[in-house]
Amino acid sequence: MALDGNAIGGLLLEIFGSDMTSAQATCASCGAVSPVAETMAYVRSPGTVVRCRRCQSVLIVVARVRGLNCVDLSGVAALEAHPRP
Amino acid sequence: MARTAVRGRLSWQVAEVAAITEETHSVRTIALNLPDWPGHHAGQHLDVRLTAEDGYSAERSYSIASADGEPVAITVERLEDGEVSPYLTQELRLGDQMEVRGPIGDWFTWSPHDGGPLLLIAGGSGVVPLRAILRHRQRSGSGVPVRLLYSSRTLADVIYREELDQYRGHAEVRYTLTRAQPPGWAGFSGRVDDAMLARVAWPASRRPLTFVCGPTAFVEAVAELLLARHYPASRVKTERFGGA
């Protein structure tokens, strides 16, 4: 069952070095912009998969290989940690 | 380029169990002694990592139950088919150690300057981060109006009931019991629906700030009802914890 981006806050903090749950992610497929916290996250698969809540496209995939995180961000057109007002 | 992947920057630290409070038959609050804790905000969570003697390890996220400035505590519900929660709720003793990292999550948080009015909607143990928000509001002397709607299977499953009942007068606390109601029950019964929200939710015109936390299906259903009531999506914050 899908969780949301809050559930991968620790993983993203580990990868990016700052909290990403408030970051605005733009879906490369449909253009929807949403806080990472409100995306769909699947954490029980072999890797971690983040999907767009509007169109279900894959936004982010993280796979852990020998202690290293391999991050595929090709599904996001933009990921803005500190959105301008 | 083989070594260019990012190494971990969020470090694990060892926490010691400082106190255990049994909340219900399947839920307990675990206070942690964390010497290097940087402080947290109401609504945030932390990750727990348990490692077995054979090196097998499991990680889970738990909402922080305490307010800003209070010692760290988590509240854990035992899931019968769980891997970590049965240990935390049945085996763990005072002085035991576990690895913890956090605090995590700056989206699902509230501080007094975020304002309100606040609408908090909890399903089961989804009440944990909302309790942290209520405590923080109380401790900071904030006058932001707040309403909590808490959906629980039975009255005996209500977590923090004594504390929540003490907030009455400062906060509007309403329960709905989905599975069984005691004789003479005057609260709501059944799942959260539009008729219930019509009585509890602030009018959308007041631009309420809403936090919904619970099992995925609960959160999705409630969020849909709120959007249908013209709550602005940007002010409806949700957190899902999966099954049940």
Mean pLDDT, 10 residues at a time, over chain B (244 residues)? 47 96 98 95 97 91 97 96 93 96 96 96 98 97 97 98 92 97 97 98 97 97 98 96 72
Which pair of tokens denotes residue A45? 């698969």
Q: What is the number of other CB atoms lying within 10 angstroms of the CB of residue A61?
A: 18
Domain ranges of chain A: 3-80
Q: How far apart are CA B147 and CA B134, in angstroms?
A: 10
The residue length of chain A stands at: 85
Contact A7 B237 (CB under 8 A): no
The predicted pLDDT at position A81 comes to 87
Contact A13 B104 (CB under 8 A): yes
User: A47 with A62: CB under 8 angstroms?
Assistant: yes
What HEC string does A5-59 produce?
HHHHHHHHHHHHCCCCCCCEEEECCCCCEEEHHHCEEECCCCCEEEECCCCCCEE
**Closest in B3, B5, B107 to A21, CB measured:** B107
Q: How far apart are CA B165 and CA B151, in angstroms?
A: 15
The domain B13-104 is placed in CATH, from the list 2.40.30.10, 3.40.50.300, 1.10.1270.20, 3.90.1150.10, at 2.40.30.10
User: B74 with B66: CB under 8 angstroms?
Assistant: no
A19 interaction partners in chain B (CB closer than 8 Å): 104-106
Which pair of tokens denotes residue B126? 């989804």
B238 interaction partners in chain A (CB closer than 8 Å): 4, 37-38
Tell me which fold the domain B112-240 belongs to. Rossmann fold (3.40.50)
Residues near B26 by beta carbon (within 8 Å), at least 6 away in sequence: B77, B78, B89, B157
Contact B107 A4 (CB under 8 A): no
Contact A1 B106 (CB under 8 A): no
Domain ranges of chain B: 13-104, 112-240
Q: Nearest CA of chain B to the CA of A77: how many Å?
A: 21
Looking at the complex, does the CB of residue B5 fall below 8 Å from at least one CB of chain A? yes
pTM (2 d.p.): 0.94
Which pair of tokens denotes residue B208? 């309420």
Give the SS3 label for residue B215: coil
**Closest in A2, A19, A69 to B216, CB measured:** A2
Q: What is the pLDDT of residues A25-54, one digit of tens each?
A: 999 999 999 999 999 999 987 899 999 999
Residues near B186 by beta carbon (within 8 Å), at least 6 away in sequence: none
Contact A21 B105 (CB under 8 A): yes
At residue A83 the predicted structure's pLDDT band, cuts being 50, 70 and 90, is low
Question: Vertex B36, ends B35 and B39: CA angle to 5°?
Answer: 105
Q: Which helix (H) or strand (E) holds B133?
A: helix B127-139
Give the SS3 label for residue B205: helix
Q: Nearest CA of chain B to the CA of A17: how many Å?
A: 6
A7 interaction partners in chain B (CB closer than 8 Å): 61, 240-241
Q: Number of CB pairs < 8 Å for A and B?
A: 77
Looking at the complex, does the CB of residue A14 fall below 8 Å from at least one CB of chain B? yes
For B98-128, give the DSSP string.
EEEEEEE-SSS---GGG---EEEEEEGGGHH
Q: Nearest CA of chain A to the CA of B211: how many Å?
A: 12
Residue position matching structure tokens 């595929």: A72
Q: Look up residue B210 and give its amino acid.
A: T
Cis, peptide link before residue B103, omega less than 30° from 0: yes
Q: Which helix (H) or strand (E) holds B27?
A: strand B27-33
The predicted pLDDT at position B229 comes to 97
The predicted pLDDT at position A44 comes to 80
Looking at the complex, does the CB of residue B243 fall below 8 Å from at least one CB of chain A? yes
**Closest in B59, B101, B108 to A6, CB measured:** B108
User: B68 with B60: CB under 8 angstroms?
Assistant: no
